[in-house]
Amino acid sequence: MRILVTGANGQLGYDLIKELEAREITALGVDIEDIDITDAHGVKHVIEEANVDAVIHCAAYTAVDAAEDNVDLCMDVNEKGTINIAKVCKELDIKMMYISTDYVFNGEGDTHWKPEDDCSPINVYGESKYKGELVVKELLDKFFIIRISWVFGVNGNNFVKTMLRLSKTNKEISVVNDQVGSPTYTADLAILLSDMIVTEKYGIYHATNEGFCTWYEFAVEIFNQGNIDILVHPIKSEAYPTKAKRPQNSRLDKSKLATNGFKLLPPWQDAVKRYISDIATPPL
């Protein structure tokens, strides 16, 4: 099997390439220097030349706050870029996996969001990713839409690395304690997505490590796992204003994974422990 992975230099794309190759699946990784996904002709050429059985579309404009000031660019990449890829997948009759986000929901309430729940994004980034979802559903039959959240991986910047960096210059920090979600290690996610892409169990799925926490609880666990002595203060979102509004409830219902025979990811605390070990001892 041959699979094209967009956004190959990102956190998830990087781990996906590694996982697919470990399974002796031909993984062709492309990133912004190889393909401009907003260029329909370029996208068509790259995918046709790759001669693949599936496309896993990880590439995206993910600067959530900057998106509020760069609406057109964000929409071009996340909506138009997805349209371009989906059209070629339809024409070639190949599978497409679109990586989406918990930000498609408004984050209200305290229940677990199900894949079929209505979407109502509260920021530009979430709206752009939701529009990408609509395109994939409209154009394709052979599609997976995977909503993920709070990702951290070896190849890129993320909350864990930020906390570890801050701990080197601060004796105490303040972290938001009223937004709930599931931290997700891209190495774990890559295993699941690799399992899924070889099947025909199409549809919309939620995929994160098991369990939920606030950003504050996430930070405390990071420092505990790293044996770092630092005082963490819980604060409300209003005390840490951001350009883009964040959903307060990002609890995602992942029962559809088990229903379709896919293995659930390990608990997020276990993922944090392994991740800190992985970045402390990078591969040779």
State the catalytic residues: 125
Report the distance separating Cα 180 and Cα 59, nearest Å. 25
Are 158 and 126 a contacting pair, CB within 8 Å?
no
Core vs surface per residue 89-111: b (16+ CB within 10 A) or e:
bbeeebbbbbbbbbbbbbbeeee
Report the distance separating Cα 104 and Cα 136, nearest Å. 15
Question: How would you classify residue 227: left for phi > 0, otherwise alpha for psi between -120 and 50, otherwise beta?
Answer: left
Are 195 and 22 a contacting pair, CB within 8 Å?
no
Spatial neighbors of 29 by CB under 8 A, at least 6 apart, are 4, 5, 8, 9, 13, 17
Report the distance separating Cα 178 and Cα 74, nearest Å. 27
Least Cα distance to 245 among 237, 235, 253 occurs for: 237
- Angle in degrees, CA 97, 162, 245, rounded to 5: 65
Report the distance separating Cα 16 and Cα 204, nearest Å. 19
Let me know how long the chain is. 284
What one-character DSSP code corresponds to residue 174?
A: E
